[in-house]
């Protein structure tokens, strides 16, 4: 998802990046792996380093691919018969690649290795097609809601109580925006399709809505929560609770919108927690599950990357071995958790020495369990592209105020795309 | 810098002949220098920025001139992924093959067109110019499917073929003109001496058509070196990228932070051969440009 | 003459090039037509679907929007390129050292790649580190650095600025040649008649250089209709896909959404539109040229 492309993430990992790019080129390669730019690149780097340390003869050469080029490069390389041996890709594209028989079936590994079953459900779900398994979780991410405790205090709100419904978001945002001209209640990146499927759609899903259609016969954007959420966004926009720059933010300020410190509430991802720690240690904030229409309704969008073997891999056996290894305690704990990255195994996600005293990380682990991931084809077309029905709906509804028409138009277009 | 030679001299549009008013001349000269400054500015800025250390390139607001000299950006690009030498080699190799293909195809074709009666000559000429009328952008999909079957993706020859498609019409055009410009007497003398058409081509015509061939090579090089869309689609493997594709990776691939310094270093590396060749061979460049477009 | 001894020797010389065109241009063109009637995906497969892709293209708002955007881009940039090219040609036609030097400077960016120049300008336009922004602030045109690529109109303007810098020299060279081919006697006669500089430009140079101007316009307009590199690199289609050009939209459909069949249909439609446009322009050119 584009949301992970947020360039701000880079600041935290620039140092490791330099190291990655040194090690990546100095040694001869045994196996190649592509990872997309963003959080997954960080996970890929620490895991590959750990693997390479102990296996000098089976080294993996990791290549970071620009986010926007990833699916194209992968598809053309598979079509050309020269794909990398391993691929860490945005989980949302799994259905397209599985349906096209572009990934290697690893059902045998999944059946033999008990660790496969311990992986967070969303990743198991998105990695299987017609009863077969084609991959597993690699670098998890999930959306949560973040609130600025200092601003909550200033506005006379309880800094330990996050909003529990979208209506509460609105109420709280009003109070915070009243603090001054440069203070805003809420932020979202209004021109970023990926950011909003990540943080806005779970508000709808928590409220009981269904967003994306699985095929041309399916329903889309069903449920009152779709309209309710858009209405609340619209109201917050017209009341000036959201900075004007939000309308044109294509994701560049998805993270900094909140980290700047003048916004009360914003949807964000688990990946900001290590970033905040390193870059904004003074900002007092909290994270919670994204709410719905009523108290107790919660959800999140499970994002991040899955790992799979492209059809045509020259080192299939070794690649299978790597995937098995990724799910071991060693990789999950000493690779991911130790470096502040969430493990993909549900049994280790929070129950480990690195995260035991990190309440915020515990929240994201919880979100991973309750969160959803849409199992659909044509996600790029339907959601992620700059001209998608999803972002068009959001923009038309929030900035133009034509909520019903916007939903209707997007629904038709989504079902049309799903039917292709 | 360069003086682009065109045959004719001044033709009276100058202010000098108007009445030798000094202020007008001075103003024109000032305009000239201003224009030169505007045109050179982006390249100069990019060149200077490529030598700034990382902190200076990322400085907000930026400074025009570097305060210190650093090769940091070049080192980063040098070691990027498969390494700059690989990408330079790819770009040179593809450009070289494109030149070879263009010459091998266009020299005989131009000779045939210029020197023989061929049935349906003008129709066939138009066929050779076909790819000028059919945008190559439209052909990339079928070519991609075809090349995946032939194993020509991620391949120097494959990309060179695409670039040849692009460059062939111009090459044939230039070679036809070049051969047509050679006097008949030379050819007739050779026939009397008993040379075959192939010998005539090799011994008499090719040396005389050398300027045309230089023009063809020069344009093939510049086009191939700079071409982006086909390279983006056909070179998916990180060891097969050409320079323009490399740059898309450089800008975005250091874990999400924009790497402006290495990008400018990459720009300088890709620009230098073009500019060098342009300065060395500009006579051919401009005359080829005009013969291809004006005649 | 060998030409008389055999009619086929010449053909023999042309055969390699003709075969090449047949295999790599005409055959793929046929394939393109065929693929456009299938639902082929980049990931494989493809069944015959008749004219469904064309029907879909007809109602594809994204495609028509991209086409309109491309046309508007072409309509904006072509007069800019031709106008500035003509002025540059007037400025540098005379073969003095300074003017030849100026001509060389204007022509220089033509030889560097469009992708490369787009990368330079992407950086120059950056809101944070961009020196063009800084320059505009320093000379008082802007109050503070702009974010150029967040609004469609601004993004388009930025691309036009960068592309103008890159290829204004192209039209200039053609026009310099056109102007220089006008006979000195004609201009001198006008000077004796007391025509001022601008009168001479308007009455003599402009009409007589019309052919080269129109030719430059045609080449430049076709190039703009096929624009891709500059938008791919500088705007990425943002915001909301408003700066997708037609070729970009076709790329997007074929290689990002994997819909090769549909992309092929769009390619053919675009090709026909461009050829029709060029034909109209050529018709206009020849009429004006003969008058």
Residue B8 pLDDT greater than 60, yes or no: no
Q: Give the orientation angle of helix B22-49 with respect to helix C114-124, to 10 degrees.
A: 90
Which residue range(s) make up the domain with A33? Answer: 2-141+302-370
Beta bridge partners of A73: none
Number of CB atoms found within 10 A of residue A247's CB: 17
Q: Token match 């224009």: residue?
A: B35
The pTM of this model reads 0.84
Closest in A20, A25, A80 to B83, CB measured: A25
A55 touches chain B (CB under 8 A): no
DSSP classification of residue A310:
B
Query: In whole angstroms, what is the distance from residue C206 CA to residue C191 CA?
Result: 16
Query: Is the residue at B10 inside a domain?
Result: no
- Whether B219 and B288 have beta carbons less than 8 Å apart is answered as yes
CB-count burial class (<10 Å; 0-12, 13-18, 19+) for A283? middle
Answer left, alpha or beta for residue A128, where phi above 0 means left and psi between -120 and 50 means alpha: beta
Domain check: are A286 and A161 in the same one?
yes
In this structure, the answer to whether residues A28 and A126 fall within a common structural domain is yes
Res B257: pLDDT:
54
Residues B133 and B216 in one domain: yes
Clarify whether residues A35 and A120 are in a common domain.
Answer: yes
Residue of A nearest to B80 (CA): A21
* Residue C38 placed within a domain: no
B7 part of a folded domain? no
Interchain proximity B252–A14, CB inside 8 Å: no
Residue C60 has what pLDDT? 86
Distance CA B292, CA C60 (A): 38
Of C164, C175, C170, C163, whose CA–CA distance to C89 is shortest?
A: C175
Q: Show which of residues 245-284 on chain A sit within 8 Å of chain C, judged by CB atoms.
A: 248-250
- First CA to last CA distance, chain A: 22
Spell out the alpha helix ranges (H) of B129-242. 130-133, 136-150, 156-180, 184-192, 197-199, 206-208, 210-226, 229-234
The DSSP code for A336 is: I
In total, the C-beta contacts within 8 angstroms joining chain A to chain C are 68
Dist. CA C163–CA C262, nearest whole Å = 30
**CATH number, position C229:** 1.10.3720.10
Q: What is the DSSP letter of B62?
A: P
Is pLDDT of B235 > 80?
yes
Give the domain extent around B25.
16-74
Least Cα distance to A7 among A56, A68, A61 occurs for A68
Whose structure tokens read 């492209």? A310
**DSSP E strands: which ranges in chain C?**
none
Same domain (yes/no): B264, B171: yes
* φ and ψ at residue A284, rounded to 5 degrees: -90, 110
Nearest to A37 among B145, B233, B252 (CB): B252
Q: What residues of C are in contact with residue A191 (Cβ under 8 Å)?
A: 150, 238-240
Of A270, A259, A266, A255, nearest in space to A367 by CA: A270
Q: Which pLDDT value is given to residue B253?
A: 47
Q: In a 10 Å sphere around its CB, with 0-12 CB exposed, 13-18 middle and 19+ buried, how is residue C92 labelled?
A: buried
Distance between CA C88 and CA A242 in Å, rounded? 48
Residues A148 and A292 in one domain: yes
| B264 contact residues in C (CB cutoff 8 A) | 120, 123
Same-domain status, B171 and B210: yes
Q: Which positions in chain B touch A29 (Cβ < 8 Å)?
A: none
pLDDT tens-digit series, residues B240-273: 899 999 898 877 644 345 678 889 999 999 999 9
pLDDT tops 60 at residue B239: yes
Note whether B40 and B110 are same-domain residues: no
Chains with 3+ CB–CB pairs under 8 A to B are: A, C
Compare all CA atoms of chain B with the CA of C18 and give the residue at the minimum distance: B128
CA gap B51, B261 in Å, rounded = 8
What pLDDT, on a 0 to 100 scale, did the predictor assign at position B292?
A: 57
Nearest CB to C41; choose among A100, A381, A395: A100
Number of structural domains, chain A?
2
Name the residue with tokens 């045609």: C218
Question: Is B67 domain-assigned?
Answer: yes
| Residue B269 is assigned to a structural domain of this protein | yes
Burial class (CB within 10 angstroms; exposed 0-12, middle 13-18, buried 19+) of A237 = buried
Domain count, chain B: 2
CATH number of the domain within which B121 lies: 1.10.3720.10
Instruction: Identify whether B2 is part of a domain.
Output: no
* pLDDT value of residue C119: 94
| Claim to verify: residue B24 and residue B139 sit in the same structural domain | no
Which of A82, A139, A252 is the best residue to mutate to test the B interface, defined by the most B CB atoms within 10 Å of its own CB?
A: A82
Q: How many CB atoms lie within 10 A of CB A167?
A: 14
Q: How far is B104 from chain A (nearest CA, A)?
A: 28
On whether the CB atoms of residues C243 and C237 are closer than 8 A, the answer is yes
**SS3 assignment, position A302:** strand
Q: For the CA atoms of A39, A44, A49, A51, what is the dihedral angle to 10 degrees?
A: 140
Q: Which residue of B83, B234, B254 is in closest CB contact with A14?
A: B254
Asked whether residue A336 falls in the same domain as residue A357, the answer is: yes
Which residue in the set A75, A191, A388 is minimally distant from C258, CB to CB? Answer: A75
Q: How far apart are CA A102 and CA A83, in angstroms?
A: 10
Residue C60 lies in a domain: no
Task: Report d(CA A38, CA A304) in Å as an integer.
Answer: 9
Q: Are residues A181 and A283 in the same domain?
A: yes
Looking at the complex, report in whole angstroms how far the Cα of residue C51 sits from the nearest Cα belonging to chain B.
Answer: 18
Inside any domain, residue B146: yes
Domain check: are A126 and A259 in the same one? no
pLDDT of residue C232: 92
Q: Does B248 touch chain A (CB under 8 A)?
A: yes
Mutate to test the interface with B, among A36, A76, A311, A313 (most CBs of B within 10 A): A76
pLDDT attached to residue B9: 41
Which positions of chain A have pLDDT values less than 50? Answer: 1-29
| A402 and A320 share one domain | no
d(CA A20, CA A49): 8
What DSSP string runs through C59-128?
Answer: T-HHHHHHHHHHHHHHHHHHHHHHHHHHHHHHHH-S--HHHHHHHHHHHGGGGS-HHHHHHHHHHHT-TT
- The total of structural domains in chain C comes to 1
Q: What's the token pair of residue A99?
A: 């349906």
Q: Is the CB of residue A330 less than 8 Å from the CB of residue A53?
A: no
Say whether both B115 and B137 belong to one domain: yes
Q: Name the nearest CA neighbour of A369 among A351, A343, A346, A347.
A: A346
Q: Tell me whether residues C42 and A75 touch, CB distance under 8 A.
A: yes
Mean pLDDT of chain B: 85
Q: Give C16's contacts in chain B (Cβ within 8 Å).
A: 104-105, 108-109
Cα–Cα distance between A375 and A366 in angstroms, integer?
A: 21
Domain boundary among B74, B108, B143: B74
Name which of A387, A392, A395, A412 to mutate to probe chain C: the one with the most chain C Cβ atoms within 10 A of its Cβ.
Answer: A387
| pLDDT of chain C, 291 residues: tens digit per residue | 444 456 788 899 999 999 999 999 999 999 999 999 999 998 888 889 999 999 999 988 889 999 999 999 999 999 999 999 999 999 998 888 999 899 999 999 999 999 999 999 999 998 888 999 999 999 999 998 888 887 889 999 999 999 999 999 999 988 888 888 887 788 888 888 888 888 888 888 888 888 888 888 988 999 999 999 999 999 888 777 789 999 999 999 999 889 999 999 999 999 999 999 888 887 876 665 444
Tokens of A368: 């991973």
CA end-to-end span of chain B, whole Å? 27
pLDDT score of A292? 96
Same domain, B135 and B235: yes
- For B250, the token pair is 């450089």
CA dist A166 and A233 (Å) reads: 9
Domain interval for residue C224: 77-244
Q: Are residues B273 and B145 in the same domain?
A: yes
Name B166's Cβ contacts closer than 8 Å, sequence gap at least 6. B131, B136, B223, B227
Spatial contact of B136 and B230, defined as CB atoms under 8 Å apart: yes
Name the residue among B82, B233, B253 with its Cβ closest to that of A76.
B233
Question: CATH number for the domain including A124?
Answer: 3.40.190.10
Angle at B5 between CA B3 and CA B9, to 5 degrees: 110
- Nearest CB to A80 within list B148, B248, B252: B148
> Are the beta carbons of A420 and C39 separated by less than 8 Å?
yes
Q: Classify residue A131 as left (phi > 0), alpha (psi -120 to 50) or beta.
A: left
**Same domain as A245, residue A167:** yes
């Amino acid at each position: 998802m584009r949301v992970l492309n947020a360039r701000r993430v880079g600041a935290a990992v620039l140092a490791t990046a330099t190291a990655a790019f040194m090690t990546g080129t100095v040694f001869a390669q045994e196996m190649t792996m592509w990872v997309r730019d963003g959080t997954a690149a960080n996970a890929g780097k620490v895991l590959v380093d750990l693997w390479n340390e102990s296996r000098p003869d089976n080294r993996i050469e990791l290549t970071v691919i620009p986010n926007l080029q990833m699916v194209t490069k992968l598809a053309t390389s598979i079509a050309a018969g020269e794909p990398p041996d391993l691929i860490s890709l945005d989980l949302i594209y799994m259905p397209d690649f599985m349906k096209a028989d572009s990934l290697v079936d690893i059902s045998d590994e999944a059946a033999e290795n008990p660790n496969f079953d311990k992986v967070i459900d969303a990743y198991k779900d998105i990695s299987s097609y017609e009863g077969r398994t084609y991959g597993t979780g690699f670098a998890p991410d999930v959306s949560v809601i973040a609130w600025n405790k200092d601003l909550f205090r200033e506005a006379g709100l309880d800094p330990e109580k996050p909003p529990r419904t979208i209506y509460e978001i609105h109420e709280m945002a009003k109070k915070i925006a009243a603090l001054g001209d440069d203070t805003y209640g809420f932020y979202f990146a209004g021109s970023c399709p990926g950011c909003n499927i990540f943080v806005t759609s779970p508000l709808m899903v928590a409220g009981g809505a269904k967003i994306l259609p699985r095929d041309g016969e399916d329903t889309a954007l069903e449920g009152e929560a779709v309209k309710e959420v858009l209405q609340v966004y619209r109201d917050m926009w017209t009341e000036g609770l959201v900075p004007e720059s939000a309308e044109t933010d294509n994701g560049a300020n998805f993270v900094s919108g909140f980290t700047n410190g003048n916004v009360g509430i914003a949807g964000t991802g688990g990946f900001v927690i290590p970033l905040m720690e390193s870059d904004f240690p003074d900002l007092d904030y909290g994270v919670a599950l994204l709410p719905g229409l009523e108290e107790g309704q919660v959800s999140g969008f499970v994002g991040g990357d899955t790992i799979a073997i492209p059809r045509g891999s020259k080192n299939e056996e070794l690649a299978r071995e790597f995937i098995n290894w990724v799910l071991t305690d060693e990789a999950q704990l000493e690779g991911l958790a130790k470096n502040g990255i969430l493990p993909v195994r549900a049994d280790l996600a929070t129950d480990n020495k690195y995260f035991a005293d990190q309440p915020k990380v515990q929240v994201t682990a919880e979100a991973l369990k309750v969160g959803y991931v849409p199992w659909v084809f044509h996600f790029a077309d339907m959601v992620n592209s700059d001209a998608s029905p999803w972002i068009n709906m959001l923009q038309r509804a929030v900035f133009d105020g034509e909520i019903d028409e916007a939903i209707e138009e997007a629904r038709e277009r989504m079902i049309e795309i799903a039917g292709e | 810098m360069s003086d682009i030679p065109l045959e004719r001299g001044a033709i009276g549009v100058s202010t000098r002949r108007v009445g030798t008013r000094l202020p007008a001349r001075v103003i024109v000269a000032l305009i000239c220098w201003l224009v030169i400054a505007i045109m050179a500015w982006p390249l100069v800025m990019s060149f200077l920025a490529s030598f700034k250390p990382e902190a200076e390139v990322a400085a907000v607001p930026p400074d025009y001139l570097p305060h210190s000299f650093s090769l940091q950006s070049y080192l980063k690009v040098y070691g990027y992924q498969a390494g700059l030498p690989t990408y330079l080699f790819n770009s040179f190799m593809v450009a070289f093959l494109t030149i070879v293909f263009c010459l091998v195809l266009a020299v005989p074709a131009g000779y045939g067109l210029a020197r023989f009666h061929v049935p349906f000559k003008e129709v066939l000429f138009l066929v050779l110019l076909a790819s000028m009328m059919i945008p190559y952008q439209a052909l990339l999909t079928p070519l991609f499917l075809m090349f995946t079957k032939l194993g020509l993706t991620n391949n120097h020859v494959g990309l060179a073929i695409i670039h040849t498609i692009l460059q062939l019409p111009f090459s044939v055009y230039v070679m036809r003109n070049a051969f047509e410009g050679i006097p008949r007497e030379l050819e007739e003398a050779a026939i009397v001496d008993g040379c075959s058409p192939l010998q005539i081509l090799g011994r008499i015509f090719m040396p005389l058509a050398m300027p045309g061939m230089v023009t063809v090579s020069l344009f093939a090089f510049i086009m191939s070196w700079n071409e982006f869309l086909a390279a983006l689609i056909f070179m998916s493997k990180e060891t097969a990228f050409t320079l323009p594709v490399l740059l898309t990776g450089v800008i975005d691939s250091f874990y999400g932070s924009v790497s402006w310094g290495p990008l400018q270093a990459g720009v300088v590396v890709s620009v230098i051969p073009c500019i060098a060749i342009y300065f060395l061979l500009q006579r051919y460049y401009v005359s080829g440009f005009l013969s291809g477009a004006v005649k | 003459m060998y030409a008389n001894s055999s009619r086929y020797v010449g053909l023999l010389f042309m055969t390699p090039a003709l075969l090449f065109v047949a295999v790599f241009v005409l055959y793929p063109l046929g394939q393109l037509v065929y693929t456009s009637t299938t639902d082929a995906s980049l990931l494989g497969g493809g069944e015959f679907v008749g004219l469904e892709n064309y029907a879909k293209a007809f109602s594809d708002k994204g495609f028509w929007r991209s086409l309109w955007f491309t046309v508007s881009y072409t309509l904006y940039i072509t007069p800019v390129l031709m106008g500035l090219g003509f002025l540059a040609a007037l400025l540098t036609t005379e073969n003095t050292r300074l003017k030849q030097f100026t001509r060389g400077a204007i022509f220089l960016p033509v030889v560097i790649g469009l992708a490369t120049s787009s990368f330079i300008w992407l950086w120059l336009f950056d809101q944070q580190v961009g020196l063009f922004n800084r320059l505009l602030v320093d000379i008082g045109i802007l109050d503070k650095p702009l974010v150029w690529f967040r609004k469609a109109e601004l993004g388009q303007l930025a691309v036009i600025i960068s592309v103008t810098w890159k290829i204004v020299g192209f039209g200039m060279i053609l026009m310099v040649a056109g102007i220089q081919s006008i006979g000195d006697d004609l201009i001198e006669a006008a000077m004796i008649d007391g025509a001022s500089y601008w009168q001479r430009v308007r009455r003599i140079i402009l009409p007589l250089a019309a052919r080269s101007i129109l030719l430059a316009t045609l080449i430049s307009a076709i190039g703009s209709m096929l624009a891709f590199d500059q938008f791919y690199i500088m705007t990425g289609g943002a915001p909301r896909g408003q700066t997708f050009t037609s070729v970009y939209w076709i790329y997007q459909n074929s290689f990002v959404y994997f819909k090769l069949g549909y992309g092929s249909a769009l390619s053919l439609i675009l090709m026909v539109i461009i050829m029709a446009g060029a034909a109209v322009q050529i018709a206009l050119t020849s009429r004006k040229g003969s008058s």
